[in-house]
């Protein structure tokens, strides 16, 4: 006799509009703050000026995958 086990499909959690907007505004604020850091602060966190500028120029909808869960 053969047994087949089916797992339930994973449901994607639904994130409300207000939570998505809050995340987008937080990302915008963080990227602006990163762009304003001086060289000493960037050295403290281990980020080069070029990497900081590159990150700061990314659009708000280009969020890390972990933020979208």
pLDDT tens per residue, range 1-23: 566 666 666 666 677 889 888 98
How is residue 61 written in tokens?
């909808």
Buried b / exposed e along 13-42 (16+ C-beta atoms within 10 A): eeeeeeeeeeeeeebeeebeebeebeeeee
Tens digit of pLDDT for each residue in 28-54? 999 999 999 999 999 999 999 999 999
**In 3D, which of 27, 17, 19 has the Cα closest to residue 59?**
27
pTM (predicted TM-score): 0.68
Instruction: Find out whether 60 and 32 touch, Cβ atoms under 8 Å.
Output: no
How is residue 28 written in tokens?
């915008």
């Amino acid at each position: 006799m053969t047994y087949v086990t089916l797992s339930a499909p994973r449901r994607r959690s639904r994130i409300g509009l207000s939570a998505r907007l809050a995340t987008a505004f937080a990302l915008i604020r963080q990227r602006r703050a990163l762009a304003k850091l001086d060289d000493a602060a960037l050295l403290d966190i281990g980020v080069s000026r070029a990497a900081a500028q590159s990150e700061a120029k990314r659009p708000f909808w280009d969020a890390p995958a972990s933020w979208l869960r």
